[in-house]
Structure 1
Amino acid sequence: MTSTLIEAITAASQQRPEAVLAVASDHRPCTTNLAEVVAAGQRMGTRMIATGIAPGDIISCMLPNWREWLVVAVAASHAGAVMLPIVTIYGAKELGFILHQSGAKWLFTPGSFRNVDYTRVVADCGALPKLERHIILGPEFEALEASGPISEPVSVPSEDLALLVFTSGTTSDPKGVMHSARGLLAELESMRLMRDESEDDAILSPWPPGHVAGALSMYRYLCQGAPVVLMDQWDAAQAAELIERYHVTSSSGTPFHLSGMMLAAETNGHDLSSLRQYIVGAAPVPPSLIEACQQQGLAVYHCYGSSEHPTVTSGTVDDPLDKQIHTEGKAIIGSEIRLVDDDGNDVPEGEEGEICTRGPELFIGYLDPSLNEAAFLPGGWYRSGDIGRLDESGYLLITDRKKDIIIRGGENISSKEVEAILLRMDAVADAAVIAAPDERMGEIVRACLVLLPGASLTLEDIRDHFLAAGIAKQKTPELLNIVDELPRNASGKVLKHELRNRL
């Protein structure tokens, strides 16, 4: 049993050296294997050590889903350093904040990607006194991974910081979330067990590696040697073609990813029969989408987690259809759930409460230690800020985030519940619900909708729909905004603060 990332990576490369890595990209496409990636990373790690990188130093990596991201991750582990992935869409404000907060010593970026000049972005960050080196992909990167001797890896305790990710910041400045090697390896093993995957099962990952879901897909390849197909930007038709070409068995994403991929496969005649399971998250899922996939032999289910606790619950391919549609599954092996009230006391069975979790995958704390006291209850229980309840069989139902509740006339309204009802309407392609200030009621429900091409919708249509569904009147939207698209971050979450600012 390996206890550090570099031990797991080395073991995987020895046991499965030919494990396929395929990168679908207009910029840096490649097909290679695990042995090549790991050897390149070990050589780079050797050079990191020689240039003064010490255990615990932060290596930041603002690269897309490319081979080079994996090489940097191996190098950081080899040197005993900490990997800090950063999403590529961040501008100077976000990047500067993260580099200052983390004290990163090295930063890897492309020269340009998707019309972004990263030299300019870094320059616009202003003074970065702790950043010693900015490596742009090209000759400098190639020299770091070039042929040469490989040193012994630096040994670090498995409970030390190994991966630092910053939350997507949907409500405030991003928070640095610290994960140990022990926690990451526990998470990877939990993922393998819950998905019932073999070493030969290939996954397709559309997640950007700057978020925990994307980073875990990368480490799954490095530490377990399971084939992976990466996309550096989303294209539904390309995703369907890749699944057919590489016989992908498992994938994950948002409902937007899944619905687009299924439509593209049908339109272009791609065979998705190898795809056994699809894990959805980050947005409400229309029940009709899950049912349509089920009819084609594709099991679609939810899992629930966060940057702090990547996987708390998961559905399975064997769950009843109603559980796959309406719940986040059950707690995975090793994870525990409590539901508490505002004072941290357990709520009665069957009632809603704030979801508190603990388990081997739980993060070891925030980079800013002042945030930890409010984040934990005694006994190591992490306060998620999400509201939910457990049904009689132990399945978790998420009802809302604490700060995403609309309080209308003293009554709490779940925005997620209203969004789910709106998504059942034939004309609706995407939905977000936010609070709108109201002099009489305090707050009322505002629906922000993306409609299907050629569709139209009025508030009267929505009222009729909610009435027919038997929904309480106070939950019915009283304001309607039709928008071209909803603002989302790179992991698919709707940026409701941005939506509020727009309106």
Structure 2
Amino acid sequence: MSSNFIEAMTAAAARAPGAALAVASDRLPCTTTLGDVVAAGRRMGTRMTAAGVGRGDIVACMLANWREWLVVAVASAQAGGVMLPVVTIYGAKELGFILRQSGAKWLFTPDRFRNVDYAQVVADCGDLPALERHIAIGPDFAALEAHGPIADPVPVDANDLALLVYTSGTTADPKGVMHSARGFLAELETMRAMRVGGDDDAVISPWPPGHVAGALSMYRFLCQGTPLILMDQWDATLAAQLIDRHKVTSSSGTPFHLSGMLAAADTHGYDLTSLRQYLVGAAPVPPSLIKRCQAQRLAVYHCYGSSEHPTVTSGVLDDPLDKQLHTEGRAIAGSEMRFVDDDGHDVAPGEDGEICTRGPELFLGYLDPVLNEAAFLPGGWYRTGDIGRLDEGGYLLITDRKKDIIIRGGENISSKEVEAVLLAHPAVLDAAVVAAKDERMGEVVRACVVLAPGGSLTLDEVRDHFFSSGIAKQKTPERLSIFDELPRNASGKVLKHQLRETG
């Protein structure tokens, strides 16, 4: 296995230069090859080095699922930099925090995408003392990747920080999750060993590349040459059409993605028989959906992981149906799990406990070192914040969530971050945010508020308030409940389990 990203990318391009990339996009459609992408990225990286980007410098990339994202990833590796993918839906609040905390030196964005003017978003971020260049897709980007010399890559160590991913969690601000090339490449090797296909394997991914799942699909193409089909925004009908056209063999997503795709195929007559496996993150999959997939010989199974530890457990093709329906699979090769109580002591086998993990894919730690103290137990065990146990067959069962987050369509949303925006509204005296079940998205944000004396509040007013705050749109509450007072314990902590029961 290659020791760093640029070695893996150049080796893959030499081995499979014609590996196909297809991007279905109204904005930047293209069909190209791995050889083209790696060469363009190495030319760009050579120019970045000449412009002063050096080993360990942060290169932020706020691009969608486009060829250009892949070019920037190669360029960052060529220059010895650290790739920082940022989801395109973030507003100035999130982007400004990420750029300031990371000290990003360069930033790549669209000029406009989904009616967003990214120059204005960056301007609204305020002071960004470390940022030297903001490159929008257009002539400046084209000049960086234009034909020219390619220098030797800047040497880096496999254990250096190579990829920085920001994730929403229990803190109000996004958390910077640090990965080495060695750890991320180990994850890719695990994915290679688990895949069903062989030389005909082809992948379609609905995940934005600012998330670890989307980044994995992009790096799988770059470092292994697995053909990749991309969409820059989710469209179930287009996904079904692309699977039919490109004979896609594997994909991943949420039940929302899978059910929509199957329905679109039925409606429009698309052939999905090439699709052999579909990996679903830790979200309930209706038994009717699993059985429907089985009828067309599509294996659907769960996996469990996070931005910090991308894959801990996974199902496999020959798992019994009840394990596919009700568990997250078993530990993958190299991954370890233990289950602890609130004091960090192991619980008895078969009892529920907080899931702690170790393995070669585990992250290096958080960029903010203050967060690491609570995140790890002695021995390098990562505290996931999820509660679960192993069944008698060694399959993982997730039974509760210790983390105060909402998972909307696969997107983690910090309750504290949403609560802080709610409390800034003049009509709100007290607020708490919980997950509300939703058939389409799995969970949505439910705001539980106590009004200030004489105050009033509607859901439309909440939406207007969140829009003006600059926060990402998906974090806006979709349910609103008004309370005379929030239930609290003797120490003043809001009893969120009681709030969930009222919704």
User: Given the two structures, how large is their TM-score scaled by the length of structure 2?
Assistant: 0.82
**Quick one: distance in 1 between partners of 2:438 and 2:365?**
38
Note if contact 1:93-1:125 (Cα within 8 Å) is conserved in structure 2: yes
Change in 2 beyond 3 A, CA 1:170/1:293: farther
**Quick one: distance in 2 between partners of 1:498 and 1:307?**
24
Q: What is the CA deviation profile of residues 179-234 of structure 1, one whole-angstrom value per residue up to 9, with x for unaligned ones?
A: 00000100000111122442430000110000000001000000000100011000
Note if contact 2:253-2:280 (Cα within 8 Å) is conserved in structure 1: yes
- Counterpart residue type for residue 328 of structure 2: E
- Counterpart residue type for residue 5 of structure 2: L
What residue number does 1:396 align with? 396
What residue number does 2:39 align with? 39
- Counterpart residue type for residue 172 of structure 1: A
Note if contact 1:249-1:274 (Cα within 8 Å) is conserved in structure 2: yes
- Could you say what secondary structure the match of 1:388 adopts? strand
**Quick one: distance in 1 between partners of 2:481 and 2:20?**
44
Q: What is the CA deviation profile of residues 347-380 of structure 1, one whole-angstrom value per residue up to 9, with x for unaligned ones?
A: 1011100000000000001000111111000111
1:297 aligns with 2:297: yes
**Quick one: distance in 2 between partners of 1:500 and 1:450?**
10
What residue number does 2:131 align with? 131
What residue number does 2:273 align with? 273
Q: What is the CA deviation profile of residues 293-347 of structure 1, one whole-angstrom value per residue up to 9, with x for unaligned ones?
A: 1111111001100000000000011111110110000000000000111111111
1:322 aligns with 2:298: no
Change in 2 beyond 3 A, CA 1:297/1:381: same
What residue number does 2:71 align with? 71
What residue number does 2:362 align with? 362
1:17 aligns with 2:36: no
**Quick one: distance in 2 between partners of 1:97 and 1:446?**
24
Change in 2 beyond 3 A, CA 1:90/1:231: same
Change in 2 beyond 3 A, CA 1:447/1:180: closer
- Could you say what secondary structure the match of 1:339 adopts? strand
What residue number does 2:115 align with? 115
**Quick one: distance in 1 between partners of 2:51 and 2:403?**
46
Runs of 4+ in 1 over 3 A off after TM superposition: 445-452, 494-503
In the comparison of the two structures, how many residue pairs are matched? 435
What residue number does 1:231 align with? 231
Note if contact 2:196-2:277 (Cα within 8 Å) is conserved in structure 1: no
What residue number does 1:210 align with? 210
**Quick one: distance in 2 between partners of 1:450 and 1:348?**
34
What residue number does 1:462 align with? none
User: Residues 128-277 of structure 1: matches in 2 within 5 Å?
Assistant: 128-169=128-169, 172-277=172-277
- Could you say what secondary structure the match of 1:239 adopts? helix
- Could you say what secondary structure the match of 2:147 adopts? coil
User: Given the two structures, how large is their TM-score scaled by the length of structure 1?
Assistant: 0.82
**Quick one: distance in 1 between partners of 2:112 and 2:475?**
29
**Quick one: distance in 1 between partners of 2:198 and 2:82?**
29
User: Residues 39-118 of structure 1: matches in 2 within 5 Å?
Assistant: 39-118=39-118
* Structure 1: 5+ residue stretches without partners: 406-414, 420-431, 435-444, 453-481, 487-493
Note if contact 1:170-1:496 (Cα within 8 Å) is conserved in structure 2: no
Note if contact 1:354-1:384 (Cα within 8 Å) is conserved in structure 2: yes
Q: What is the CA deviation profile of residues 69-106 of structure 1, one whole-angstrom value per residue up to 9, with x for unaligned ones?
A: 00000000001100000000000000000000100000
Change in 2 beyond 3 A, CA 1:13/1:222: same
Larger CA deviation: 286-295 vs 83-92: 286-295
Change in 2 beyond 3 A, CA 1:498/1:181: same
- Counterpart residue type for residue 370 of structure 2: S
- Counterpart residue type for residue 301 of structure 2: Y
Tell me by how many angstroms 1:287 deviates: 1.8
- Could you say what secondary structure the match of 1:230 adopts? strand
- Counterpart residue type for residue 208 of structure 2: P
Note if contact 1:314-1:331 (Cα within 8 Å) is conserved in structure 2: yes
Larger CA deviation: 162-171 vs 120-129: 162-171
- Counterpart residue type for residue 252 of structure 2: S
What residue number does 1:308 align with? 308
Note if contact 1:111-1:137 (Cα within 8 Å) is conserved in structure 2: yes
- Could you say what secondary structure the match of 1:32 adopts? strand
TM-align CA RMSD: 2.7
